[in-house]
Structure 1
Amino acid sequence: MQAAPRGQPLDTDMLRDFGVSPAQATYMVKAGWLQRLSRGVYLLTGDRPSRDGIIAYLARHIPGLHAGGKTALDWQGVRHNIAFRERVQLWGCQSYDFPPWVAENMLYSYQTTKLFDDGFPDEYGLKPLPYGNSNVRVSVPERALLELASDIGKGQSLEEARNIVMTLRNIRPQVLDEFLSHCQRVKVVRLVRDLGLWSEYPWGLNLQKHVDRLGAGKRWSNRTRDGERLTLKP
């Protein structure tokens, strides 16, 4: 109990690492030392799942799980509005059946949108925050920018994205180029180009080559969830 991380749900593999068998875990629940959150998932009695603890638990079960998009930028000091209640934007590589206790303790969204080609490592550009939980990975700002663009029209407004981008002065051009070179989403690449041009920062002035790589000639157009038409030039 002294070694178990506070605020992090414990699965049976973690308990086994601590020398606790499933039978012993059942006994500890009856004795009041552990509380059962769901089948095979426990928490120290008197403890409560924390945001980082929940994400660290989920990362053990979902390949490529990380905080991305607007959340990743916010956690690195890039934000426009401060939400009354934070919604954590989680990204991963496969679908997952989230147990009810996750939503009871953390407001979140989850998506498995594949932005990059098969030759690009799924976990590239993911790392823990300085002084943060080492098991909670977060997109670097350049990757988070592509994830933010991906969410435009799916609950993320273009206006807010522009306001966020206005605070992104320190985007690393070479790193952004690397992500865009492997991005296979026409909408994402064109939106990053447009956001970069709109910001007038140096990193956003030479991105047309990535749009051309995906094919030239046609406008991209789609209707957003709000019913508005999003049209992006070639």
Structure 2
Amino acid sequence: MSNKTVQRLMQESRRGHPVDSGMLRDMGISAALASHMVKSGWLQRLSNGAYLLTGDAPTRDGSIAYLSRRIAGLHVGGKTALSWQGVRHNIAFHEKVVLWGQKPYRIPSWVDQHLSYSFQTTALFDVDLPYENGLKPLPSGDPEVKVSVPERAILELASDIGKGQSFEEASNLMVGLRNLRADVLDEFLSHCHRVKVVRLVRDLGLEADFSWARGLQKHVDRLGAGTRWSNRTKNGRLTLKPE
């Protein structure tokens, strides 16, 4: 093992970002050499094929970036995506990151030790909408971590209502979404095939009296009559309808 190999590893590995076998190969480090570097104290093995510079701990963004190379379409969505873009109701001291992806994946146990998260693969949109639509890194964020734009995130948030996400908090978050881009939201709703999501986005927007919400009835009509997902109380407050 040459000093040049070690130097390249130190230069190209981002602190707190786990690397996989493919990344090591690109640095000229074979599986055998990686094992030797673990024994020599340059690398620590997190799991099969996952390594980190010795002395580092996986960061939030480093863990998500690693998973994004293994899970198609992995992104930060829903409530977390809104929070990272300044739309939040309460500041969480122990943030639980909401992750979405295209297909199930067995996330390695070392991720659980360093990241509080939920992961789901709920399909909200039809196949005509490219999965990557509305997913991009934040301007000041990690370039390897994709985040839902607010217009997509609000649909993901609505999908989570009743599944660990309270209606009340979603309603409070909606207050910060007055300036959603109506044309972008319209595109996502045009491809959304889940009645619950479309109805709740409409109801939450109307409750907040946003102008963009008044044009959403066409999406509810497109999906046809179905279950009502919200009730209005005597004081005019919307609540999630009990199943």
Question: Shared fold (TM-score greater than 0.5)?
Answer: yes
Query: Residue type matched to 2:200 in 1?
Result: L
Counterpart in the other structure of 1:215: 224
Is the contact made by 2:64 and 2:145 (CA closer than 8 Å) also made in structure 1? yes
Counterpart in the other structure of 1:42: 51
TM-score (norm 1): 0.94
Is the contact made by 1:91 and 1:110 (CA closer than 8 Å) also made in structure 2? yes
Q: State which of 124, 140, 143 in structure 1 corresponds to 2:152.
A: 143
State the 4+ residue runs in structure 1 displaced beyond 2 angstroms: 218-222, 228-232
Is the contact made by 1:219 and 1:231 (CA closer than 8 Å) also made in structure 2? no
Q: State which of 161, 172, 183 in structure 2 corresponds to 1:174.
A: 183
Deviations 1:151-183 (A, max 9, x none): 000000000000000011210000000000000
Q: Secondary structure at the match of 2:152?
A: helix
How many positions carry a matched residue from both structures? 226
Displacement, 1:220?
Answer: 3.5
Counterpart in the other structure of 1:116: 125
Q: Secondary structure at the match of 1:42?
A: strand
**Residue 7, structure 1, aligned to residue 16, structure 2:** yes
**TM-align CA RMSD:** 1.5
Q: Secondary structure at the match of 1:205?
A: helix
- Structure 2: how far apart are the matches of 1:201 and 1:221? 19
Is the contact made by 2:200 and 2:229 (CA closer than 8 Å) also made in structure 1? no
Q: Secondary structure at the match of 1:64?
A: coil
Q: Secondary structure at the match of 1:200?
A: coil
Counterpart in the other structure of 2:199: 190
Counterpart in the other structure of 1:102: 111
Counterpart in the other structure of 2:234: none
Larger Rg: 2
| Change beyond 3 A, Cα 1:161–1:102 | same
Displacement, 1:230?
Answer: 2.2
**Residue 57, structure 1, aligned to residue 66, structure 2:** yes
Consecutive unaligned residues of structure 2, counting only runs of 5 or more, are: 1-9, 231-238
- Structure 2: how far apart are the matches of 1:114 and 1:219? 19
Moved more, 198-207 or 140-149: 198-207
Q: State which of 207, 226, 241 in structure 2 corresponds to 1:230.
A: 241
Displacement, 1:118?
Answer: 1.1
- Structure 2: how far apart are the matches of 1:88 and 1:61? 18
Q: State which of 23, 26, 29 in structure 1 corresponds to 2:35.
A: 26
Query: Residue type matched to 2:95 in 1?
Result: E
TM-score (norm 2): 0.90
Query: Residue type matched to 1:199 in 2?
Result: A
Displacement, 1:231?
Answer: 6.1
Is the contact made by 1:59 and 1:65 (CA closer than 8 Å) also made in structure 2? yes
- Structure 2: how far apart are the matches of 1:131 and 1:221? 37
Is the contact made by 1:183 and 1:189 (CA closer than 8 Å) also made in structure 2? yes
Counterpart in the other structure of 1:79: 88
- Structure 1: how far apart are the matches of 2:147 and 2:77? 6
Q: Percent identity?
A: 65
Displacement, 1:203?
Answer: 1.3
- Structure 1: how far apart are the matches of 2:14 and 2:227? 51
Structure 1 or 2: larger helix share?
2
Displacement, 1:219?
Answer: 3.1
